[in-house]
Structure 1
Amino acid sequence: MTLAARPRAPHILIFGVAALLVGCAQTPAPSKEAPPSVATCPDGVPAEARCLRGQDSAGAHYLIVVPKDWNRMLVVHAHGGPTLGEPKASRADEDIKRWAITVRAGYAWAGSVFRQGGVAVRSAAEDTERVRRIFVEHVAQPTLTLLHGQSWGANVAAKAAEMYAAPGQRSPYAGVLLSSGVLAGGTRSYDFRLDLRVVYQFLCNNHPRPDEPQYPLWMGLPVDSKLTRAELAARVDECLGVRKPAAQRTPEQASRLKTVVDVIRIPETSVIAHLNWATWHFQDIVQNRTGGLNPFDNAQVRYTGSTDDAALNAGVLRYRADPRAVATFGADTDLTGRIGIPVLTVHGIGDPTAFVELQSAFRRTMEGAGTASRLVQVLSDHRDHSYLSDPTYAALFDALVRWAQEGDKPTPAGLARLCKTYEARFGPGCRLLPDYQPAPLETRVAPRR
């Protein structure tokens, strides 16, 4: 029986400056959080849903959406990215437009924009929990609350689950869904982007150019750099011809591009995006998170896949991480696996942004914490990162609710069957692969440290 077929509890929901708390749970102690304001719903929100906006006590903007036919359950969303610069309230509009399936499936949705931009996981987890508390205090008491993190937001959601739903801890969340997640922590998930920087520089020598100030590539960019994304894309195209049709590339461009793709193991269509992240996100990490110290290491990495690996390994720049930077960055972004609630993950096997092998690293993390019995992972035959399909997410939310409420732990095969039942309501798109097992991360990214 799907959620759509389940009897719904009667409820009272009053929107406005004051709202009644309903449900059987204990009313939380009053907080310093101001109530949200009724707002016009952004584009993409299902008709007749009610929307509220606000800014929490830490300065994070947020959006809350409750469908007309609410199933009395709440999904708290941690968005991907991370976005650099000053957070904008409109970010939540983009998120709910993408994740409107949550509301269409009957759940209320609450998403924080986060108080600060950049690669800051723990503070984003705190902001995520804060918007849940605002919902409970000022909107309604849900019968069940799920936590959902997408991409980098999966790192945030997993961190929030460790902080607020550890084993033995009374948890406000019943389960967590991690989709297309960056789940190996910052100290491992971004290693391949340093590899990309050094291999690209060996081949192209234009980021930075020889006549520009030189800097260690782990820095991303010097703090006073004026380089733009358009300028970097032009440099990449100059060297690799990546934005040209293959027939229009010079032999030299084609050869260099093939080396990047084969050594770093990313599709050519994502080279510019990953170089952007290895530039401006690295700049944020080093300047704003690690005190100017280097958290990335390739001192002993052996690169393979080129036509001349000996020359490549002799020529790439080498860097040794500062242990203090690794410890600082790891404390904020790495995961312990100490999660005491059901965890369901989904990932496209051809994801060009967050490698599917990150799932193996996350399983090992939970095995190390002794919590792997609370983890179910399912893979999908998608080559997308940002979104898989409506019936996929609707089915996974349903399965997570059943697991939390009834102890009905799902299996990958059962999830594949359940997803197919949702296609009648939400359209095609179920491509789950019950038997697929991701390879270890070390088979995709050379190990270090």
Structure 2
Amino acid sequence: MRLRPLAVLSALVLAALAPAGTARADRVPGDQPLPGYTIANPPLPPVQVHGKPSRVLQGVHRHAAYDIEVPPQWNGRLVLWAHGYAGKGHVLTVEPPQYGLRQRLLDQGYAWAASSYYDNGYDVRAGVLSTRDVAELFAREVGRPKQRIIIGVSMGGHIIGRSLEQFPGYYDGALPMCGVLGDQELFDYLLDYNLVAQDLSGVREYPVTAQYLTATVPRIEAALGLTALRPGGPDTTNDRGKQFRSIVIDRTGGTRPGAVPSFALWKDFPFTLAEPSDPDATLAENPGQVGTNQFTRYEPNEPVDVNGTVQRVRVENLPARLSNRLSQVPRISGRPDVPVLSLHGLGDLFVPFSMEQIYARDVARNHRSGLLVQRAIRTSQHCEFSNAEAGAAWDDLVRWAGGGARPAGDVTTRPSAVARPDYGCRFSDPAAYAAGTGTRRLFPACP
């Protein structure tokens, strides 16, 4: 039988978006990882909950390792923890809730469950499906919960945003922290960083080669005056370096407290995320396949007309970029059906604050802003929150999800509000600033 060209194209698109390992999974028992993977999930010691030990269950389910922990007096509610990017290795690991939340949840009577996911890399589909799988396993092994709340970090935020839309009505609340809620636009930004730096420095190399980091990037940084730039040190940037910094600040959330010292802190890292092209890489192994700057307008556009001179790159994997299906790097449409409370560091330039702004606009476009509360935290490292910040967000979310009033948050999409000197002070931990922990002192003291 001969296939028409359109049918051939459709078949290729469907094949490209089919779940990785589907055929292999049919031949592997569910209590084993997929071929090529091993599991490292050492015994998780129970913790004391009001003087009694918790109950811990561990194992492998649908090719993913899992941990489940139940307090002695379970309140009938379950928390799902969605971990962040675990690299490209082939060892699957499980992460308990962070920021003191493990103990906090158990003390409040909540059980929790977490999955390694069946795949590593940037595989959001694996996270969405494996998290749902461990929730269903919990229902069979422990009991069907009367409430499910999903929380997590970084790529886990992408998993959370898509999980709410993939399984509407399944979860009752969500707490994404430092999350990739702007989905594919994260990879646009990482592409921007490298292409704009190349353009302004006059040192071009895209696609990048194996010598990019060792030979090309040092020349780029030298040409822009970035080589010796350090947080709190002298401003070594030249005019083109200043324009580059301003463009990066604009693309990551706009003028805001801590943006300039945060740039100095992060200046090298986004270069490390530009990878040589590999035609055999999966989307999870190279999520940059969905990135593009073809229609991006950069500001400020002087002294160099970057919009006229920057290299424009088309989407390498257009089917994945356009598809609404659950792929390894799927889209989030901004349609939460339950309360969502998010935290994000203002100076994070790995998963930048702009992710929150993109999600807020998507949610507003779908007339669901009443279900979203966002909080800015005055930190610069990725996922740098204190136990107090995460704990307060959790407590506020569960009251809201349980029928309480919508909690307070920060406006993220009004530039004049974000640019205020005291922006982010309302929900940032004053004790952490007083102690000088992490990057807190890159920001001026709050009034």
Whether TM-score is above 0.5 comes out as: yes
Instruction: Look up the equivalent residue of 1:316 and give its one-letter code.
Output: V
Q: What corresponds to 1:447 in structure 2? A: none
Q: 2:161 aligns with which of 155, 158, 162?
A: 158
Q: 2: CA distance between counterparts of 1:138 and 1:271?
A: 48
Instruction: Look up the equivalent residue of 1:327 and give its one-letter code.
Output: L
Q: 1:295 aligns with which of 290, 296, 312?
A: 290
Distance 1:304 1:269, change over 3 A: same
Deviation at 1:259, TM superposition (A): 4.0
- Whether contact under 8 Å (2:188, 2:291) holds in the other structure is yes
Q: 1:327 aligns with which of 322, 325, 328?
A: 322
Cα offsets for 1:103-125 (capped at 9, x unmatched): 23424332222222223222320
Query: What SS class does the counterpart of residue 341 from structure 2 fall into?
Result: strand
Q: Does 1:116 align with 2:126?
A: no
Q: 1:54 aligns with which of 59, 63, 67?
A: 59
Once superposed, what is the RMSD of the aligned Cα atoms?
A: 4.5
Q: Does 1:404 align with 2:401?
A: yes
Query: What SS class does the counterpart of residue 75 from structure 1 fall into?
Result: strand
Q: Does 1:194 align with 2:216?
A: no
Deviation at 1:277, TM superposition (A): 2.6
Which stretch of the first structure deviates more once superposed, 252-261 or 370-379? Answer: 252-261
- Whether contact under 8 Å (1:298, 1:318) holds in the other structure is yes
Q: Does 1:317 align with 2:320?
A: no
Q: 1: CA distance between counterparts of 2:68 and 2:225?
A: 44
Q: Which runs of 5+ in 2 are unaligned?
A: 1-28, 33-38, 253-262, 411-424, 435-447
Distance 1:34 1:299, change over 3 A: closer
Q: What corresponds to 1:271 in structure 2? A: 267
Q: 1: CA distance between counterparts of 2:81 and 2:278?
A: 23
Q: What corresponds to 1:14 in structure 2? A: none
Instruction: Look up the equivalent residue of 2:92 and give its one-letter code.
Output: A
Q: 1: CA distance between counterparts of 2:294 and 2:402?
A: 49
Deviation at 1:244, TM superposition (A): 3.8
Q: 2: CA distance between counterparts of 1:53 and 1:304?
A: 51
Deviation at 1:255, TM superposition (A): 5.7
- Residues 38-187 of structure 1 correspond to what in structure 2 (within 5 A)? 40-41=43-44, 48-57=53-62, 59-66=63-70, 72-81=76-85, 83-90=86-93, 92=94, 95-96=95-96, 98-106=98-106, 107-164=110-167, 166=168, 169=169, 171=170, 173-186=171-184
Q: 2: CA distance between counterparts of 1:420 and 1:196?
A: 30
Cα offsets for 1:240-265 (capped at 9, x unmatched): 67564669x99997566444322222
How many equivalent residue pairs? 364
Deviation at 1:157, TM superposition (A): 0.9
Q: Does 1:372 align with 2:366?
A: no
Distance 1:409 1:292, change over 3 A: closer
Instruction: Look up the equivalent residue of 2:245 and give its one-letter code.
Output: V
Q: Which runs of 5+ in 1 are unaligned?
A: 1-31, 209-215, 414-418, 432-449
- Whether contact under 8 Å (1:103, 1:109) holds in the other structure is no
Q: Does 1:337 align with 2:334?
A: yes
Q: What corresponds to 2:303 in structure 1? A: 308
- Whether contact under 8 Å (1:61, 1:88) holds in the other structure is no
Q: 2: CA distance between counterparts of 1:146 and 1:174?
A: 5
Query: What SS class does the counterpart of residue 352 from structure 2 fall into?
Result: coil
Q: Does 1:381 align with 2:378?
A: yes
Cα offsets for 1:159-211 (capped at 9, x unmatched): 111122x2xx4x2x22111112221221x232222211212223556674xxx
Q: Does 1:350 align with 2:347?
A: yes
Q: So what's the TM-score if we normalise by structure 1?
A: 0.66
Instruction: Look up the equivalent residue of 1:403 and give its one-letter code.
Output: W
Instruction: Look up the equivalent residue of 1:185 and give its one-letter code.
Output: D
Q: 1: CA distance between counterparts of 2:216 and 2:225?
A: 13
- Whether contact under 8 Å (2:182, 2:358) holds in the other structure is yes
Q: 2: CA distance between counterparts of 1:330 and 1:230?
A: 38
Q: What corresponds to 2:438 in structure 1? A: none
- Residues 412-423 of structure 1 correspond to what in structure 2 (within 5 A)? 412=409
Distance 1:315 1:364, change over 3 A: closer
Q: 2: CA distance between counterparts of 1:236 and 1:410?
A: 45
- Whether contact under 8 Å (2:240, 2:303) holds in the other structure is no
Distance 1:352 1:401, change over 3 A: same
Deviation at 1:289, TM superposition (A): 2.6
Distance 1:327 1:284, change over 3 A: farther
Cα offsets for 1:341-392 (capped at 9, x unmatched): 2211222333333332322321222233343322222333333431311122
Query: What SS class does the counterpart of residue 190 from structure 1 fall into?
Result: helix
